[in-house]
Structure 1
Amino acid sequence: MKSENMYIVWAHPRADSLTAQMVQEIQKQATHHGINVSVLDLYRSGFNPVLGVEDEPDWSNPDKRYPAEVHRLFGELKGKDTIMIVFPLWWYSFPAMIKGYLERVWNFGLAYGGQKFPAKRVCWLALVGGSEARFEKYGWKKNMTEYLQGAGSYLGIEESHVDFLFNTIGVEEDITDRESHYQGLFKQAREKVDALVR
């Protein structure tokens, strides 16, 4: 296998959160496979997710210059084979940090609008607090999968993978052995990386 490059973008206000631990597991597993990994921790990097007037696309000008932060962060995607977005699911959607990152950085004239998206593969990994059965019952799994894959198609991304880790709060399925439960979630995260190199 040729040398692969992975870029992980993640968001959680706590640096010791389960989301952070998942990122560490993914990073370790990717490194084990010889993948070069770089990580963007949106909270600790001081990223501002608020889209301002200067971030608004100019539909008549795909060469518009956005703030330097936007161009710097978009530049970090170049040369990456895989971009992995890791986030907790809040209110059945992204945290504001992830949404703001997508709106500001994956912008017109950069990620789309005559430009080719720089990475061939995007993997979305959402940590869902509750059970898979409840998530599916109300159609959220189908909803989010179709939304994210549709966004990938719009951007011309060759591969778009959407995965969920369920019951990350560990309260909906009568879990008695919490340690084993969370070790199982870590194993699932590592297996997502394994699947990329098969």
Structure 2
Amino acid sequence: MKKNNMYIIWSHPRRDSLTAQVVQEIQGEAVRQGINVSTLDLYRSGFDPVLREDDEPDWNNPQKSYSPEVHRLFGELEDKDTLVLVFPVWWYGFPAMLKGYLERVWNYGLAYGEDSVLKHKKIRWLALVGGSQAGFIKFGWEKNMTDYIKGSMGYLGVEDANIDFLYNTIGVEEGIDDREGHYQQLFTQARSLVGSVLE
């Protein structure tokens, strides 16, 4: 049986953040399940999220050569079966660091276009939301982000993709009396993502 290769891309300025802890939980569970795991810590890797002219898509040239950084980072995806993106929701969307990664690295002629290598991969998104699920749904943000991800995955030709949300990550919502238990529950939910990859 072929061994699954997982690549976790995550974004948070603090290495001791809840986002980082969630990544560790996913990574640990994946290893326990016999999955090879590697990670890309966008902040600590020194990644530059700014899209400059060298990496702007050329719609008339799907064979365009982008910057060496883009080709190196995209090359890291090619032998991976599963991509997992873990991030906090800021201003009801992606952190700028992650958005810059998507714009620069998942580029035309690489991630999408006729020769896309992403369309046969499993892609999982895990979004950490500071507030409650009820509030996020009430104002349409869960649907908005879910539709955005589904639309993007369709653009890439990816059929096996899913987004999950971890709610109340700040832990100050009413009704959370056992903060430690609450965070352990979030970690359990994060680890369950690995099972969805193996199904």
Whether the TM-score (by the shorter chain) exceeds 0.5 is yes
Instruction: Please give the residue correspondences for 1:7-86 in structure 2 after superposition, counting only pairs within 5 Å.
Output: 7-86=7-86
CA distance in 1, matches of 2:35, 2:134: 34
Letter in 1 for 2:165: F
What is the one-letter code of the residue matched to 1:183? Q
On the 8 A contact 2:109/2:116 being kept in 1, the answer is no
Q: Residue 128 of structure 1 corresponds to which residue in structure 2?
A: 129
- 1:97 equivalenced with 2:60 (yes/no): no
Identical aligned residues as a percent? 66
How far residue 117 of structure 1 moved from its aligned partner, in angstroms, is 2.8
What is the match of residue 141 of structure 2? 140
Cross-structure match for 2:155: 154
Q: What RMSD in Å do the two structures reach over aligned CA positions?
A: 1.0
Instruction: Tell me how far apart the structure 1 counterparts of residues 75 and 93 of structure 2 sit (CA, whole Å).
Output: 26
Name 2:2's counterpart in structure 1: 2
Opposite residue 123 of structure 1, the aligned amino acid is: R
Code of the residue aligned with 1:149 in structure 2: it is K
The answer (yes or no) to whether the contact 1:117–1:155 under 8 Å persists in 2 is: no
Deviation of 1:167 after TM superposition, in Å, equals: 0.3
* Cα distance in 2 between the residues matched to 1:142 and 1:117: 27
Q: How many angstroms does 1:176 deviate by? A: 1.5
TM-score (norm 2): 0.97
Query: How far off its partner does 1:173 sit?
Result: 2.9
SS of the aligned residue for 1:72 comes to helix
State the Cα deviation string for residues 74-118 of structure 1 (Å, max 9, x = none). 000001111000000000000001000000000011111222233
Equivalent position SS for 2:161: strand
CA distance, structure 2, for counterparts of residue 197 and residue 32 of structure 1: 12
Q: Distance in 2 between matches of 1:49 and 1:58?
A: 19
Structure 1 length as normaliser, TM-score? Answer: 0.97
Q: Aligned partner of 2:46: which letter?
A: G
Match for 1:78: what amino acid? E
Segments of 5+ residues of structure 2 without an aligned counterpart are: none
